[in-house]
Amino acid sequence: MVNESGPARAGRIATYNDPASTARSRRATCAESDAAAPVSTDTAVDRDSAGGSAIELRGLAHDYSTDSGVVRAIDTVDLDVAPGEFVSIIGPSGCGKTTMLRAVAGLLEPSFGSLSVLGGSPREAQRDHAIGLVTQEPGLMPWLTVAENVRMSLKLAGRPDAVDDWLRRVGLDRFAGLYPRELSGGMKQRAALARALAHAPRLLLMDEPFGALDELSREALRMELLKIWERERSSVLFVTHSIREALLLSDRVVVMSGSPGRILKDLAVPFARPRSDALFVDGEFLALEERIRVLLRTAN
């Protein structure tokens, strides 16, 4: 059951408190409390000075019904993302990273807990066209050209004439008239990135957007994303399996346990911006990469 509480939009959150789910959550919490690792945050973030949270999750949990019974995907997750902050989620396969992101996007109603997106509910953020979403599958309209796909997004922002500018930003200006079937995987993801960012979303949600690409295309696109983000400064929640990618891009890296997914560690990334892949040979970078790798081994 969803309750969008509060009279003013700035204070509204969506709460999910299905009685059956609540009972299951309490039983699961009692049974699993000894095994649950405490959440550890290595640095405090002053949310008030940043103007509140772009994302606020409190006690978020979600159950899936399967033929063999109810499976909990994520369990009692608390997470904040500040305005303009880039936060990556990393964890074992099946730990609920995508479930969490889909809940924030308003594509899934969690079984239990509360969440606020840009000061209101996910549905309100959707209605305001305030969310951009990029997944492994580019999701381009096959009957539209690259330029026409990007123009669809720009129309939401009232700037349909800015297509050429966005295609230049992602390196597709020479391919504006091509159809998705004529593009490589990397080019399709560049078009998807341009489409997601073109209407100036306040929040960008990315679910392993480079996971299906070859390494060279992946390197090129994450550097392109880094340059665009440093210019636009949207809030970003980024799901990845790559430790190196998470550390290069993020202000914080949140490490999740195995199923059901809980937050094990919330790590601040200390490297100054702007960044480049020269960080990959930095001693502090390598030490933090190894620390996260050890956490992921224990997460399973």
Q: What is the pLDDT of residue 256?
A: 95
For residue 20, what are the CA distances in angstroms to 109, 111, 128, 259? 15, 9, 32, 20
Segment 134-156 shows an average pLDDT of 90
Segment 32-45 shows an average pLDDT of 38
Interatomic CA distance for residues 268 and 19, integer angstroms: 36
Q: What is the pLDDT of residue 177?
A: 95
Q: What is the pLDDT of residue 171?
A: 86
Residue 212, pLDDT > 90, answer no
Given phi > 0 = left and psi -120 to 50 = alpha, else beta, which region is 69? left
Segment 185-204 shows an average pLDDT of 89
Segment 263-274 shows an average pLDDT of 95
Q: Where residue 266 falls among pLDDT bands split at 50, 70, 90?
A: very high
Residue 269, pLDDT > 80, answer yes
Q: Where residue 273 falls among pLDDT bands split at 50, 70, 90?
A: very high
pLDDT in tens, 78-116: 999 999 999 999 999 889 999 999 999 999 999 999 999
What's the chain's average pLDDT? 84
Residue 182, pLDDT > 70, answer yes
- Look-up of token digits 């081994």: 297
Asked if 72 and 260 touch (Cβ cutoff 8 Å), the reply is yes
Interatomic CA distance for residues 87 and 96, integer angstroms: 16
Cis peptide leading into 260, omega within 30 of 0? Answer: yes
Domain ranges for the chain: 2-130+201-299, 137-199
Between 245 and 161, where is the model more confident? Answer: 245
Half-sphere exposure of residue 269: CA atoms within 13 angstroms, side-chain side = 28
CATH class of the domain at 2-130+201-299: alpha beta
Residue 255, pLDDT > 70, answer yes
Retrieve residue 239's tokens.
């799901």
Segment 21-46 shows an average pLDDT of 39
pTM: 0.81
